[in-house]
Amino acid sequence: MSIDVVRKDIKHVHLSVYPPDGRVRISAPRNMALDLIRVYAITRLDWIRRQQRKLQAQERETPREYLNRESHYVWGKRYLLRIVEVDAAPMVKLKHSTLELAVRPGSDAGRRHEVLDAWYREQVRCALPPLLAKWEQSLGVRARRILVQHMKTKWGSCNPVSGNIRLNTDLARKPSECLEYILVHELLHLIEPTHNARFQSLMDKFMPQWRQARDEVNRLPVRHEDWAY
């Protein structure tokens, strides 16, 4: 197995398996011996292979062309895209079974993508305040800043030192409980930075159904990406 090793100014080893094909990267302290990193990787081989199998089995959407009657997901429900050309500011409206995208005449697929992505980002931002009010109080933590952005390889991330949390714009495509699960997951990293037994026991305590939510996150198709490293 080929594993990328990246040296950083960190105290602990971090292991990541990236889509779409399960590329493995270990971030390690600068002074950690390569033999120790290799031993660590060997102890995690079973976990690495499980993650690779999940990624390789993950269904992916075909590339979006942003054309009429193309399928798009909003909070886990499938909608058909309807393009409306108007000489006005772009707008997105969610109707019974359609996702109406109003753009200026001549807007190409790139512009349509840009407008729709900004709308998805806003959906996540609007859904966050009640969830933050609920879970920051329950967990006894407070995030310094919540950033919503497009992320190719993660649904969320947390920097326990800065207190910043990042959430993937594409969570607006998943059922709403997926956003709640990812938010709780990242907030708990302010208490326990790693995914050790303590972290899992905290997840069990505060969100007993978290494994079902995790499976739901991984079940629905994710968007097509042009993976360039």
DSSP type of residue 64:
P
* Predicted local distance difference test score (pLDDT) of residue 226: 42
- For 71-219, CATH gives 3.30.2010.10
β-pair partners for 81: 99
SS3 call for 28: strand
pLDDT of residue 156: 92
Locate the domains of the chain by residue range.
Answer: 3-57, 71-219
Q: β-strands 156-159, 91-94: how paired?
A: unpaired
**Cα maximum dimension of the chain:** 63
The position carrying tokens 């499976």 is: 215
Cα–Cα distance, 212 to 223 (Å, whole number): 21
Residue holding tokens 């950033």? 147
Phi, psi torsion values for 59, nearest 5 degrees: -70, 135
pLDDT in tens, the chain (229 residues): 899 999 998 888 999 888 767 889 999 999 999 999 999 999 999 999 988 887 777 666 667 899 999 999 999 999 999 999 999 999 999 998 999 999 999 999 999 999 999 999 999 999 999 999 999 999 999 999 999 999 877 889 999 999 999 999 999 999 999 999 999 999 999 999 988 899 999 999 999 999 988 888 877 555 544 433 3
Strand partners, 74: 77
pLDDT, residue 197, reads 92
Determine the residue type at 59.
E
Q: Given the structure tokens 């990787």, which residue do they identify?
A: 41
- What integer pLDDT is reported at residue 227 of this predicted model? 35
Q: Which residue has the tokens 């409306």?
A: 84
Phi, psi at 106, each rounded to 5°: 85, 0
Helical spans, DSSP H, in the chain: 34-43, 45-57, 109-139, 176-188, 197-206, 210-219
- Side chain identity, residue 38: R
